[in-house]
């Protein structure tokens, strides 16, 4: 049924845009910027943060822009339909914010050379299709350090969505960060095969806690696991946005995504006519990845260690994926002192040595 609701959402958006487009186009008309979200803007995670970025664009440019968004768009044909409608409806810049929108965005971009497209977390570009992403793994590495410091049981629970490089990278980074503190740290991973299903995320959190995890991390978008951690008296690391409202005691920190500055810069580039197809991958240094303020439970020495780790990454002294590092099967990935090139990270499909369990294919 989700498909049906998304179809209707798409039709609704198309209708709204069609009406908007029917007015006469004047030279000083506001620039139309559209956003396509995979979840609801109220998810308090991924889509929520993108929408914060959209609001920042509105605030920065006032009357000069007109933004629209379509939420709850599923991957595949539905996404293509929605993006096509937005492009045909007069949007001049379209941000599509889910990995699964990659091929649909590329297809529509080819049909609309006059429209600029920006796809988040993907790797396919064209003259009018740029890509952007954030180095969440840097934040997750620091979060791993905090998690391992705070864990008494020595087991971190990790709720993962889909085994794409983005998520696998996050698991590995968190584990490597945690291992610097406690070489015997264990990381238990549950793949829930969904970006957003609060009930299932809560069930997964329960399963992890019952199997001994006392710090939860997540790569899914709802605050359900945070809420559960609060209730069950364990700790958790937030995802995408500050989730302290859901776990005032439980949240140690949160790996936040900040798209505001990027979105504003890109909208400005379109207005100035300086927009080109680029590939942006910003991290802690660029302010695209931000760690939420440490929770009350985090003692000073842990906070200091986390800050030092973060600073080392910002300064470039520390690269989370640096050898000697083996893959889970024991084969050598990185030699002593060698850092993983971006292309290795972007195609990561294996666990590093020490992570237990099988990676779904």
Partner 1 sequence: MDLVLSILLGVVVAATPLAFAAIGELVTERSGVLNLGVEGMMIIGAIAAFAATYGTGSYIIGSLAGALAGAAMGALFGVLTLSLMSNQVATGLALTLFGLGLSALIGQSYSGVSLPRFPQVHIPILTDIPFVGPLLFGQDGLVYLSIALVAGVSWFLASTRAGLILRAAGENHDAAHAIGYPVIGIRYLAVMFGGACAGLGGAYLSLVQTPLWVENMSAGRGWIALALVVFASWKPTRVLGGAYLFGGVAILQLHSQALGLRVDPQILSMLPYLATIVVLVVISRDRMTMTLNAPACLGRAFHASS
User: Considering only residues 231, 261, 286, 338, which one is a binding residue for partner 1 as defined by CB under 8 A?
Assistant: 231
Q: Beta partners for 159?
A: 190, 218
CB of 76 to partner 1, least distance (A): 16
Whole-angstrom Cα Rg for the chain: 21
C-alpha 139/C-alpha 137 separation (Å) is 5
Under 8 Å CB-to-CB from 93, ≥6 apart: which residues? 31, 32, 33, 34, 115, 116, 117, 118, 266, 267, 270, 275
Cβ-based nearer residue to partner 1, 145 or 190: 190
Does 342 bind partner 1 (CB under 8 A)? Our answer is: no
Q: How far is the CB of 206 from partner 1 (least distance, A)?
A: 6
Q: How far is the CB of 174 from partner 1 (least distance, A)?
A: 16
3-state secondary structure (DSSP) of residue 352: strand
Measured from the CB atom, is 128 or 161 closer to partner 1? 161
Q: Does 154 bind partner 1 (CB under 8 A)?
A: no
Answer for which of 23, 62, 330, 358 binds partner 1 (CB under 8 A) is 358
How many residues in the chain? Answer: 361
Segment 68 to 107, residues that bind partner 1, using CB under 8 A: 72
Q: Does residue 190 touch partner 1 according to CB under 8 A?
A: yes
Torsion from C-alpha of 21, 50, 344, 106, nearest 10 degrees: -10
Nearest alpha-carbon partner for 100 in 36, 154, 12, 183: 36
Interface pattern 160-189 for partner 1 (x via CB under 8 A):
----------------------------xx
Peptide bond into 221 cis (omega under 30): no
The nearest distance, CB 245 to partner 1, in angstroms, is 4
The CA distance from 5 to 269, in Å, is: 34
Which part of the chain contacts partner 1 (CB under 8 A), choosing from 40-48, 127-135, 270-278, 288-296? 40-48
DSSP for 33-71 reads EEEE-SS-GGGSSHHHHHHHHHHHHHHHHGGGEEEEEE-
What number of other Cβ atoms are within 10 A of residue 310's Cβ?
Answer: 21
- Of 171, 202, 217, 288, which lies in the binding site for partner 1, with binding defined by CB under 8 A? 202
> Does 200 interact with partner 1 (rule: CB under 8 A)?
yes
Stretch near partner 1 under the rule CB under 8 A, chosen from 18-26, 36-44, 286-294, 300-308: 36-44
Q: Is 349 in the site for partner 1 (CB under 8 A)?
A: no
Which positions lie near partner 1, rule CB under 8 A? 1-2, 4-5, 8, 39-44, 72, 157, 188-194, 196-200, 202-204, 206-208, 210-211, 213, 222-224, 227-228, 230-231, 245-246, 356-358, 360-361
């Amino acid at each position: 049924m989700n498909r049906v609701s998304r179809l209707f959402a798409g039709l609704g958006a198309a209708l709204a845009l069609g009406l908007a487009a029917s007015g006469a186009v004047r030279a000083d008309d506001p620039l139309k910027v559209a956003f396509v979200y995979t979840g609801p803007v109220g998810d308090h995670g991924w889509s929520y943060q993108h929408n914060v970025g959209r609001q920042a664009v509105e605030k920065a440019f006032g009357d000069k822009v007109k933004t629209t968004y379509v939420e709850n768009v599923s991957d595949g044909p539905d996404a293509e339909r929605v993006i096509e409608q937005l492009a045909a409806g007069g949007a001049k810049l379209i941000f599509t914010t889910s990995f699964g929108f990659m091929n649909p965005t590329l297809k529509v971009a080819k049909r609309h050379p006059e429209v600029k497209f920006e796809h988040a977390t993907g790797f396919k570009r064209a003259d009018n299709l740029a890509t952007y992403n954030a180095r969440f793994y840097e934040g997750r590495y620091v979060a791993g350090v905090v998690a391992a410091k705070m864990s008494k049981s020595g087991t971190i629970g990790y709720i993962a969505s889909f085994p794409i490089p983005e998520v696998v990278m996050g698991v590995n980074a968190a584990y490597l960060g945690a291992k610097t503190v406690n070489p015997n740290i264990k990381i238990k991973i549950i793949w829930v095969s969904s970006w957003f299903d609060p009930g299932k995320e809560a069930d997964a959190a329960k399963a992890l806690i019952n199997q001994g995890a006392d710090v939860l991390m997540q790569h899914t978008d709802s605050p359900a696991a945070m809420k559960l951690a609060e209730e069950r008296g364990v700790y958790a690391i937030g995802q995408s946005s500050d989730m302290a409202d859901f776990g005032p005691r439980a949240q140690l920190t949160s790996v936040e995504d900040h798209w505001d500055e990027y979105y504003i810069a890109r909208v400005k580039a379109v207005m100035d006519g300086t927009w080109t197809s680029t590939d942006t991958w910003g991290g802690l240094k660029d302010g695209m990845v931000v760690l939420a303020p440490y929770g009350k439970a985090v003692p000073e020495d842990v906070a200091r260690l986390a800050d030092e780790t973060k600073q080392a990454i910002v300064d470039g002294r520390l690269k989370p994926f640096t050898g000697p590092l083996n893959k889970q099967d024991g084969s050598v990935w990185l030699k002593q002192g060698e850092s993983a090139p971006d292309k290795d990270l972007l195609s990561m499909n294996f666990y590093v040595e020490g992570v237990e369990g099988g990676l779904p294919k």
